Amino acid sequence: MRALSTADLNPAILKVEYAVRGELAIKAEEYRKRLALGGEHGLPFDKIISSNIGNPQQKGLDQPPITFMRQGSDSDQVAALCEWPALAELAPNAFPKDVVARAKELHEEIGSVGAYSHSQGVPLIRQSVAKFIEERDGYPANPDHIFLTGGASAGVSLLISMLITPPDSGILIPIPQYPLYTATLAQHHGVPLPYHLDEASGWSTSLHEIEQTLEHPDHAEIKPKALVIINPGNPTGALLDEETQEKLVRLCEKHNLVLLADEVYQANLHRPDEHPFVSFKQVVARMKSPIPLVSFHSISKGVSGECGRRGGYFETVNFPDDILALIYKMVSVGLCPPLSGQIGVDCVVRPPKPGDESYPLWKQETDTIHAALASRTKTMSDRLNALPGISCVNSPGALYLYPKVHLSDRAIEAARAVGKEPDAFYAMNLLDETGICVVPGSGFGQKEGHWHYRLTCLCPGVDDYVDALEQFHRRFIAKYGAAEE
């Protein structure tokens, strides 16, 4: 019998790339293991800083879990009321009254968290999501049009897989983009139709760029099926204004596109008075537009940061019943989303209210996290912009900065000599010298001859962290020279 080889596999998976957990993350993990062994490790740093991924509760960062979620849902702690309902009686004074009431309500609806739920998600939790959407937007939401998922990524993958009809279907995606989209398109034989965001105007979305992509001769044989909008942006942190949102809705009407609105960072607003978040559901409803809209949300971001629970949802708008039935059929193949994630969704969309016993602590914790992210974002962008050869948009949202690095010809030649993209070469040197792991811009897409990297604003000790970035950059410039302006 011959050995299994890649030739025996679906060729589509060989085209899948996901830079966020790619070469740099793998090497960072190797360094982490060396450091864990202790002794003489031979590295010029004593810890790894994983700034490559928006994972707020990862070891080494300081964003704690929200107490209400951990008390009000199942968790890794021993005292988890949904895992062990009798705990409320065994420790009657251990939990706030509203937490006990929430856990009891969920337990009565769900039963054991070890049992399958409804494939679309627990009905009570979908009702909570619908109420959250209605209170946020001022327009009603139908629980039967809401699907709970194992994180927003599962919903994105499902919708793209259903929209693609190989070999000539395309999805419009922003550049730079979260690599989930190109990876999913590669997996399902879809064609990415990239449109560039405008860095010079704070990574704004240009309708002209989208129209140019649709009219490009190379795309003449490709049928565009959907438009992806990430708002707030990843990796850019940009926020759309309502006028642009309305124009994008009209563009979808004109070209018969489904609008896929990735809104998982909607709670991560650093200057909400200046840059508020407006959902596409609100815009579509206000305009009475007939476009099919899918909006995605997640418990992994915001202030909850419950990435490991894998909880999220998507809402469908203007979808006919036969298509909704097909979506239900497809989610049924996976039986149901994780119950721990579904309960996490309920806690995110139904947080404590003023007057609840849990509210003061919840308010204190969430305000502290928002303030820390806003402060770190400003500090990092200000100091990065002060460096020669770096320019950085001060992101109004999300968890990241996406600085542009101006590299000299000598640095670019050195990168090419070892078979790497110049920004990947820069990022690898950064990891080797400082232990800071970032994601090169080539993993998100960028204009020809432009180089970036994405780093999170989650890291504690921001001054020391940025000190290391600054010192590395100055050493790199000293070694390879400054780029010509």
Domain edges within the chain: 6-61+364-480, 123-349
The pair phi, psi for residue 63, each rounded to 5°, is -85, 110
* Residue 136 confidence (pLDDT): 96
The pair phi, psi for residue 224, each rounded to 5°, is -75, 130
Vertex 399 angle, CA 376 and 199, to 5°: 95
* Residue 77 confidence (pLDDT): 31
406's tokens: 């101006």
Listed residue (201, 203, 202, 181) closest to 192, CA to CA? 181
* Residue 293 confidence (pLDDT): 96
* Residue 61 confidence (pLDDT): 58
Collapsed DSSP state (helix, strand, coil) of residue 296: strand
Q: Which position has the token pair 């565009």?
A: 224
Collapsed DSSP state (helix, strand, coil) of residue 394: coil
> Mean pLDDT, 10 residues at a time, over the chain (485 residues)?
64 62 78 80 80 60 58 38 60 70 78 80 93 96 95 90 88 90 87 93 92 89 94 92 96 95 92 93 96 94 79 94 89 86 88 87 86 88 92 89 92 92 91 89 85 84 85 92 73
As a whole number of Å, the CA-based R_g of the chain is 23
Beta pairing partners, 175: 196
User: How many Å apart are CA 443 and CA 452, to the nearest integer?
Assistant: 10
**How far, rounded to the nearest angstrom, does the alpha carbon of residue 420 sit from its chain's CA centroid?**
26
Residue 102: burial class (beta carbons within 10 Å; 0-12, 13-18, 19+): buried
* Residue 485 confidence (pLDDT): 57
User: How many Å apart are CA 71 and CA 98, to the nearest integer?
Assistant: 10
Collapsed DSSP state (helix, strand, coil) of residue 196: strand
Q: Which position has the token pair 């770096």?
A: 390
User: What is the crossing angle of helices 207-215 and 242-255, to 10°?
Assistant: 20
User: How many Å apart are CA 141 and CA 139, to the nearest integer?
Assistant: 7
- The answer to whether residues 293 and 229 touch, using CB atoms and an 8 Å cutoff, is no
User: How many Å apart are CA 35 and CA 48, to the nearest integer?
Assistant: 9
Q: Mention every residue, 6+ apart, whose C-beta is less than 8 A from residue 204.
A: 197, 198, 238, 240, 244
Q: Mention every residue, 6+ apart, whose C-beta is less than 8 A from residue 186.
A: 12, 15, 16, 17
What single string gives the DSSP state of each residue in 121-186? Answer: --HHHHHHHHHHHHHHHSS---GGGEEEESSHHHHHHHHHHHH--TTSEEEEEEES--THHHHHHH
Listed residue (110, 166, 184, 129) closest to 338, CA to CA? 110
408's tokens: 């000299």
Beta pairing partners, 312: 149, 298
The domain 123-349 is classified under which CATH number: 3.40.640.10, 2.60.40.10, 3.40.50.300, 3.90.1150.10?
Answer: 3.40.640.10
Residue 61 is classified by DSSP as B
User: How many Å apart are CA 106 and CA 349, to the nearest integer?
Assistant: 14
How many distinct helices (H) and strands (E) make up the chain?
A: 16, 14
Collapsed DSSP state (helix, strand, coil) of residue 386: coil
Q: Mention every residue, 6+ apart, whose C-beta is less than 8 A from residue 45.
A: 433, 434, 435
User: What is the crossing angle of helices 422-434 and 23-36, to 10°?
Assistant: 10
Q: What is the pTM of this model?
A: 0.85
**What is the fold, at CATH topology level, of the domain defined by 6-61+364-480?**
Aspartate Aminotransferase, domain 1 (3.90.1150)
Listed residue (259, 279, 271) closest to 138, CA to CA? 279
